[in-house]
Copies of this chain bind each other. A is one copy, B any other.
């Protein structure tokens, strides 16, 4: 029985982000599938649970194939209640709680929204907020102060993806990332700009395909010299040469997501605290 169209529910007693994230990973293994999806967050009491069940059960009543539910529900009773709905119930937490209890010899707390406490042990919440503010204050070379405090300084030609990457590193990992634009003049000098030269060990380069760069710049400043393919090609080529000459690690952002760029930066940059320091940079979603 092949059903290529399915309704998917993400049901959580918290934001639902974890259920969605793992759900997407699993669903991406079934490419032919055509999905419609709904997220129910903050399902913390029986009434809310009954409301969700009502919606889930409606699907089958309409004659459609039964839906799939990805659930992150910490409370055993709520979980049990929702699991009885007319759907394939994928229990992302409950499935692993028993093996972990046996392994640790500890009863789980079954508490809702406790992930804060463990997160805060790993990285205080305020660090992340501080890192976001840092990224905004140090965008595009806007403030030359405090480069000393930066965990990493991203460089690259204008519109190569520095800003979104900095913002992502801050939001997801609490990493303080500054960014600094590189120009043709820097490439001609064969040196990093003066203000970041002494921090070379934390500089990471971004590059981008010249055609893609031209497209992005064209949207921003149509028909300018800045947006010509010739200009883009020269800049990209010169800056890549500079990276190689100065042995600056770099990544091509053309078809790399900010998640992937961030992971690469964290692997390659020599964080001031040493190679083990990436243990301190964990996502806190």
Contacts and interface: CB of A to CB of B under 8 A. Distances in A.
B285 A114 contact: no
Most chain-B CB neighbours within 10 Å: which of A4, A30, A37? A30
A20 B103 contact: no
Contacts of A54: none
Interface stretch (A11-19, A181-189, A237-245): A11-19
A267 B93 contact: no
Contacts of A170: 167
Nearest to A139: B136
A283 B21 contact: yes
A37 B104 contact: no
Contacts of A128: 164, 258
A32 B104 CA distance: 10
16 contacts: A1-B105, A17-B172, A22-B72, A24-B118, A29-B93, A29-B97, A29-B111, A30-B104, A35-B118, A42-B267, A129-B164, A133-B163, A136-B139, A171-B172, A259-B285, A283-B285
A88 interface: yes
Given A96-B90, A278-B39, A109 B15 contact: no
Contact of A38 (B1, B41, B110, B279): B279
Q: What are the 8 tightest A-B residue pairs by CB atom distance, in nearest-first order?
A: A29-B108, A28-B115, A15-B263, A28-B118, A28-B114, A2-B105, A132-B164, A88-B103
A47 to B, nearest CB: 16
B27 A118 contact: yes
Interface string A66-106: 00100010100000000000001010110111011001111
Contacts of A200: none
Contacts of A168: 132, 171
A20 B133 contact: no
Nearest to A267: B41
A247 interface: no
B26 A97 contact: yes
* Size class of the contact patch on chain A: 35 or more
A282 B16 CA distance: 9
A125 interface: yes
Contacts of A1: 105
A181 to B, nearest CB: 15
Given A68-B103, A105-B3, A111-B29, A263 B41 contact: yes
A1 B101 CA distance: 11
Contact of A117 (B15, B21, B28, B35): B28
A259 B19 CA distance: 14
A81 B136 CA distance: 43
Contact of A96 (B21, B26, B125, B133): B26
A44 interface: no
